[in-house]
Amino acid sequence: MNPTTTQLFKDTFQSEPTHLAFAPGRIEFIGNHTDYNGGLVMGAAVTEGITVAVSLRADRKIALVSDAGSEVDLSLDAMTPVSGLASWTNYPIGVAVVLRDLGMEMPTGFNIAVTSNLPAGAGMSSSAAFELATAKALAALYGYETDTAGFARIGRKAENEFVGVPCGILDQGVSAFGKADQLVRIDCATETFSTIPMPANTHFWIFNSNKKHSLVDSHYADRHKECHEARDVIQAKYPEVGTLSEADEAKVREMESELGDVRFRRALHIVTENARVQAVEAALAAGDIDAVGVSLSASHESSRVNFENSIPELDTLVDLLKAQPTVYGARLTGGGFGGAVMALTGPGFGEAQAAEIAAAYQAAHGLETTVIHTQAGEGAKLLS
């Protein structure tokens, strides 16, 4: 499926890989930052993603190479996070550590080559795709078995505990459970996964702002902390509220003074976003695509005002897209603080409209936008 991965492996290690795996990036359709707050989210796996090739070694060494960097050599006996130019290796090594801790025996090391056709830093979760592809490949290589949800949890655990990003299950869950022409719905409180058909004749357009973000270095951890502090304040009065998403807008507004301005707005975003996910699910069931679009655009506005994880470049793209008659709705997708905007469009939106938006965006910000027209695709899988 991806001969460039095999070729990179052969060029680097002078041998054939024994296993290949692919995992897709994802679009966060609706449910911004609700995952680690025990809420509902919807996403779609895309057709673009990351492919890894692996084989066993005879020694205790791990050798890694990517299409974006040089070879990195590590020891199987010293799998610890690294910084600097080699920090990209934290994703596959983190997965290896989680698998080892789950009981996967690794008597010898491995070679791994990775290629990607997914833009890094665009809010499409190249990190989760890397984790899931690695987990699939290493599990096959060393004979470890788990189910689809198990692979998603392996990826999340690696990102939480090894990479150091306190993400929820959205990214890994969508990458694992993706289906063609389907949205993945996750109830993060119970980690229940299901799929919902995409509306007919609708399209995903992704506009990368090319303002790169890094969740490790951004305010993501701050938002995580603020949300959990808000939950604790609400929980003191309403002990039945186990997660922030279990609160509702009335409770949050009632406790505005106790929460203070910042925590109030963070909490308001989460509870209204959770309600928007439910509204989108109902609208999809009723075939009301216009109502879906209204919720998508309202989601972005809440991200901009209450969660403050948008930036002017993303706001410009959303405003330009909303002005197009064949765009149902648009919003930032992913963690925010840079990255990309997703638009749900009808078939009348095409390359001409995308080029018009790209030109207006460049005039406003002096940046080019990378445009991706994609569709919902399959989840993580072994290729051989």
232 in catalytic set: no
| Side-chain half-sphere exposure of 337, counting CA atoms within 13 A | 15
DSSP class per residue in 261-287: HHHHHHHHHHHHHHHHHHHHHHHHHHT
* In contact, 53 and 12? CB cutoff 8 Å: no
Q: What are phi and psi of 345, to 5 degrees?
A: -125, 165
CA torsion sign, 264 to 267 to 268 to 269? positive
User: Where are the alpha helices (H) located in the chain, listed in sequence order?
Assistant: 3-13, 90-101, 126-142, 148-157, 170-177, 220-237, 249-254, 256-286, 289-302, 312-322, 351-365
**How far is CA 200 from its chain centroid?**
24
* In contact, 65 and 8? CB cutoff 8 Å: yes
Distance CA 327, CA 323 (A): 8
Which one is catalytic: 171, 181, 187, 217?
A: 171
- Two structure tokens written together for 244: 């922030």
Grouping H, G, I as helix, E, B as strand and the rest as coil, residue 159 is: helix
Distance CA 130, CA 114 (A): 8
**Pairing between β-strand 110-116 and β-strand 203-208 as defined by DSSP bridges:** unpaired
- Specify the residue for token string 């409209």: 353
User: Please, which residues have CB within 8 angstroms of residue 316's CB and are 6 or more apart in sequence?
Assistant: 360, 361, 364, 365
Distance CA 52, CA 19 (A): 8
List, by residue number, the catalytic residues: 171
